[in-house]
Amino acid sequence: MAGRQDTPPKRASARGLRGAKSHHAGQAAEQLVARFYERQGYQVAARRWRGGGAEIDLILRLEAMVVFVEVKHSTTRDQAMARINAAQMQRMMASAAAFLADEPAGQLTEARLDVAVVDGTGRVEVLENAYGQG
């Protein structure tokens, strides 16, 4: 065919591949954390809930209490812990407040903000009430 030029398929960039790998690792970590809580009697109310200008990885219920969980995944526990910062905590608290606004007891609902860390071996460590709220 005259005039037709085949263009080679686009190759995924290294950055794009890292992003996809990180996304899938994050989803796997969230699943591990959800199972960790479920074994303790919690029920998953929402995953990746968006509101209040942020996203909360997991929202769980244990009787009347609502638990908001930020999941951090990295090769080591220390690397995962280093990814927690004050701005992120503020966004998570604002998002939790937005979720609680729709609860029957509103802001008076018993609530807790946890951080769950998953290391490269799949080990889950939960820091309950990590932000000192609730």
- Look at residue 50 and tell me if it is in a domain: yes
- Look at residue 120 and tell me if it is in a domain: yes
Q: State the DSSP code for 10.
A: P
User: Bridge-partner residues for 89, per DSSP?
Assistant: none
pTM for this predicted structure: 0.80
- Look at residue 4 and tell me if it is in a domain: no
The mean pLDDT of 79-99, rounded to a whole number, is: 88
CATH of the domain at 49: 3.40.1350.10
**pLDDT band, very low/low/confident/very high, at 62 (cuts 50, 70, 90):** very high
Residue 2: pLDDT over 70: no
Domain count, the chain: 1
pLDDT given for residue 5 in this prediction: 60
Q: What is the DSSP string of 76-111?
A: SHHHHHHT--HHHHHHHHHHHHHHHTTSTTGGGS-E
- Look at residue 132 and tell me if it is in a domain: no
Residue 134: pLDDT over 50: no
- Per the structure, the complete domain to which residue 96 belongs is given by 14-127
- Look at residue 26 and tell me if it is in a domain: yes
